[in-house]
């Protein structure tokens, strides 16, 4: 038999903590053959990303490989010098990390950073190769985008730039850590198709770390399931996900959302007692003048956007990266100024409000963003983060704010003893609950949720969605829910708007949008959903 490209044996990884060593990976063993795609799935904290970091010898902080071996192409990685590992990273083992804003340098252009990845390993091609890579991963107008900075890219385009960097030197093994969690389904399909071509044509192996079981089922040859640092189940993708042996794997499969999943809310039309309109968006647009454009030419990120959000209802916006979803949310939050049209909050025009009035209105509209680790100050305790909006709006005194923090922690089902911890001491799901608690602190009427569950594993995602629905029922909240995950949107929405190139192209209930779409673009989005679980098979 041919020797595997990668062989991991009895891998153990531990981290030093004030309470003693914590073992994050406990005796994990697996192989990856040349040209094979292996998916590692599991909830947040299961150890899957720690295994990936161990292979590249990039463990964070005080983490260390305490036992085991990692053999890559006949070389024992645990004994290589740092210089030898530096030469291997990128050239032999490529990496696509999850968080693009933390992994792209904000002071260098995207093109310069991809070019650096080529130059470090002496690869030819220069700027022409960079343009080829940008086009390959689906970034529009690569000739213009190559000279832009990361902040000028959408979240999805930044993730695609990282994928281009990971593929730049055509490595034999590519470790992709949640490479598509921030991407819409159409771009996701294009990226994964390209990874599939690499596997088939050049023999590149892929380790795909993901919480998306449908993606694992569709794209991987084998699936490894991790739980609390241990490998609890492994086998062919179809067998693992269709007939799982372990209870934990069965729970993962059951929690995965699909278009066949029963919605968490009753979306069957507006009730007889027409609810109060919290926000109305009327023919709104936002234009920019971008570097590299012809003089006087404008780029419209959003155009002629119209919808309303009633009290106690969830209105969702779906569409691919760059469709205008987040721009619309920023205008509603007052973080961007509309170039045209009218946004009314509580019947009042945002554009006509003075600074003081706009500040008061922001108590009624609060955001929850995609990455809670980035939106929580790492120096603040959880109690300080939740109480911050109360301090800013001068609500209550120190004692009453402390009581409110405890009440909010209880509302989002977090134990009170987390109040004095720092964000890095919490799991991803716990941090997102803290972000929701902070948004609720000033008792808003509307919460804007911009990709608020896209980075969470399926078990935590299911808990957060149930929490949002429960809070809406108890507090009468309105939600603007922005997502590229159509299965999640189907579960939580009363009304759905599909955006393409800055415009709403189709609107209706989840039933009408997802069961009988009228537009080709909507049908294209639905067709791009990974098969198996997500499609409700």
Partners of 8 in the β-ladder: 30, 70
- Nearest one of 138, 208, 221 to 178, comparing CA atoms: 208
| Mean of pLDDT over the chain | 87
Average pLDDT, integer, range 170-183: 83
In this predicted structure, the answer to whether residue 533 has a pLDDT above a threshold of 60 is: no
Confidence of residue 89 (pLDDT cuts 50, 70, 90): very high
Q: Give the percent of the chain with pLDDT over 70.
A: 93
Partners of 21 in the β-ladder: 16
Q: Would you state the pLDDT for residue 535? A: 41
- State the Cα torsion 412-413-418-420 to the nearest 10°: 40
Q: Which two tokens stand for residue 475?
A: 């507090």
339/84 Cα distance (integer angstroms): 54
Q: Would you state the pLDDT for residue 266? A: 67
Q: Would you state the pLDDT for residue 290? A: 66
In this predicted structure, the answer to whether residue 309 has a pLDDT above a threshold of 80 is: yes
What is the number of residues in the chain? Answer: 537
Q: Would you state the pLDDT for residue 79? A: 95
Give the CA count within 13 Å in the CB-facing half-sphere of 166.
Answer: 30
pTM for the whole thing? Answer: 0.75
In this predicted structure, the answer to whether residue 54 has a pLDDT above a threshold of 80 is: yes
3-class secondary-structure state, position 358 = helix
Other beta carbons within 10 angstroms of residue 269's beta carbon come to 10
Give the CA count within 13 Å in the CB-facing half-sphere of 135.
Answer: 10
* Mean pLDDT lowest among 449-453, 454-458, 461-465, 481-485: 454-458
Partners of 41 in the β-ladder: 210, 225
In this predicted structure, the answer to whether residue 142 has a pLDDT above a threshold of 70 is: yes
The predicted-structure confidence for 177-223, as pLDDT tens digits, reads as follows 887 766 677 777 777 777 777 667 777 899 999 877 777 888 899 99
Could you give the residue range(s) of every CATH 3.40.50.300 domain in the chain?
A: 6-255, 256-364+444-537
The DSSP element (H or E) to which 299 belongs, if any, is: strand 299-310
C-beta separation of 317 from 257 below 8 A: no
Q: Would you state the pLDDT for residue 383? A: 95
Q: Are strands 299-310 and 277-288 parallel, antiparallel or unpaired?
A: antiparallel
Tokens 């946004």, residue?
343
Burial degree of 193 (CB within 10 A; 0-12, 13-18, 19+)? exposed
* Residue of 390 and 294 predicted with greater confidence: 390
260/282 Cα distance (integer angstroms): 33
Q: Give the percent of the chain with pLDDT over 90.
A: 49
383/419 Cα distance (integer angstroms): 5
Q: Which two tokens stand for residue 293?
A: 């454009």
Q: Would you state the pLDDT for residue 529? A: 74
Confidence of residue 147 (pLDDT cuts 50, 70, 90): very high
Confidence of residue 259 (pLDDT cuts 50, 70, 90): low
- Cα of first residue to Cα of last residue in the chain, in angstroms, is 36
In this predicted structure, the answer to whether residue 401 has a pLDDT above a threshold of 90 is: yes
The predicted-structure confidence for 320-372, as pLDDT tens digits, reads as follows 877 899 899 999 998 899 999 999 998 899 988 888 888 888 889 999 987 77
Q: Which two tokens stand for residue 330?
A: 């920023």
* Residue of 118 and 198 predicted with greater confidence: 118
C-beta separation of 206 from 223 below 8 A: no
C-beta separation of 211 from 43 below 8 A: yes
In this predicted structure, the answer to whether residue 303 has a pLDDT above a threshold of 90 is: yes
Pick the CATH number of 256-364+444-537 from 1.20.1440.230, 3.30.70.20, 3.40.1010.10, 3.40.50.300: 3.40.50.300
- Nearest one of 394, 336, 345 to 365, comparing CA atoms: 345
Average pLDDT, integer, range 115-130: 91
Q: Would you state the pLDDT for residue 532? A: 43
416/282 Cα distance (integer angstroms): 43
* Mean pLDDT lowest among 17-31, 198-212, 284-298, 466-480: 284-298
Average pLDDT, integer, range 267-289: 78
Please give the CATH topology (third level) of the domain spanning 6-255: Rossmann fold (3.40.50)
């Amino acid at each position: 038999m041919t020797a595997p490209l990668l062989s991991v044996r009895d891998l153990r990884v531990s981290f030093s903590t004030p309470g003693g060593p914590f073992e994050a990976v406990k005796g994990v063993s697996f192989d990856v053959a040349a040209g094979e795609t292996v998916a590692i799935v599991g909830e947040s904290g299961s150890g899957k990303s720690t295994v990936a970091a161990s292979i590249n010898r990039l463990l964070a902080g005080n983490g260390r490989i305490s036992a085991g071996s990692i053999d890559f192409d006949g070389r024992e990685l645990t004994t290589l010098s740092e210089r030898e590992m530096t030469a291997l990273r990128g050239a032999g083992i490529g990496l696509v990390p999850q968080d693009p804003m933390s992994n792209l340098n904000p002071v260098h252009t995207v093109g310069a950073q991809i070019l650096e990845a080529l130059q470090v390993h002496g690869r030819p091609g220069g700027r022409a190769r960079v343009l080829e890579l940008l086009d390959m991963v689906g970034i529009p107008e690569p000739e213009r985008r190559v000279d832009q900075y990361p902040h000028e890219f959408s979240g999805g385009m930044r993730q695609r730039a990282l994928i281009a960097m990971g593929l730049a030197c055509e490595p034999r093994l590519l470790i992709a850590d949640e490479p598509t969690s921030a991407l819409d389904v159409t771009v996701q399909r294009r990226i994964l198709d390209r990874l599939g071509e690499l596997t088939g044509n050049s023999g590149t192996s892929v380790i795909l770390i993901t919480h998306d079981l449908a993606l694992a089922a569709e794209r991987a040859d084998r699936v490894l399931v991790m739980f609390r640092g241990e490998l609890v189940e492994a086998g062919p993708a179809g067998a693992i996900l269709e007939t799982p042996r372990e209870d934990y794997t069965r729970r993962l499969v059951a929690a995965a959302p699909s278009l066949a999943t029963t919605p968490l809310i009753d979306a069957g039309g507006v009730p007889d007692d027409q609810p109060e309109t919290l926000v109305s968006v009327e023919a709104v647009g936002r234009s920019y003048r971008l570097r590299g454009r012809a003089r006087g030419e404008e780029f419209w990120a959003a155009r002629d956007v119209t919808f309303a959000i009633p009290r106690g209802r969830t209105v969702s916006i779906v569409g691919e990266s760059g469709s205008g979803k987040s721009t619309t949310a920023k205008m509603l939050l007052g973080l961007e100024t509309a170039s045209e049209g009218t946004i009314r909050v509580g019947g009042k025009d945002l554009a006509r409000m003075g600074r003081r009035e706009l500040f008061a209105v922001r108590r009624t509209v609060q955001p929850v963003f995609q990455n809670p680790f980035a939106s929580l100050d790492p120096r603040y305790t959880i109690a300080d983060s939740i109480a911050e909006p109360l301090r800013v709006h001068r609500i209550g005194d120190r004692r009453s704010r402390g009581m409110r923090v405890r009440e909010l922690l209880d509302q989002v089902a977090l134990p009170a003893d987390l109040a004095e911890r720092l964000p890095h001491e919490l799991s991803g799901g716990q941090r997102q609950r803290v972000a929701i608690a902070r948004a609720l602190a000033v008792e808003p009427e509307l919460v804007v949720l911009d990709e608020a569950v896209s980075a969470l594993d399926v078990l935590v995602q299911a808990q957060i969605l149930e929490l949002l629905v429960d809070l809406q029922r108890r507090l009468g909240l309105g939600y603007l829910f922005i997502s590229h995950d159509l299965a999640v949107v189907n579960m939580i929405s009363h009304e759905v708007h599909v955006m393409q190139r800055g415009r709403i192209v189709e609107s209706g209930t989840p039933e009408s949008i997802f069961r009988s779409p009228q537009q080709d673009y909507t049908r294209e989005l639905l067709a791009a959903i990974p098969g198996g679980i997500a499609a409700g098979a």
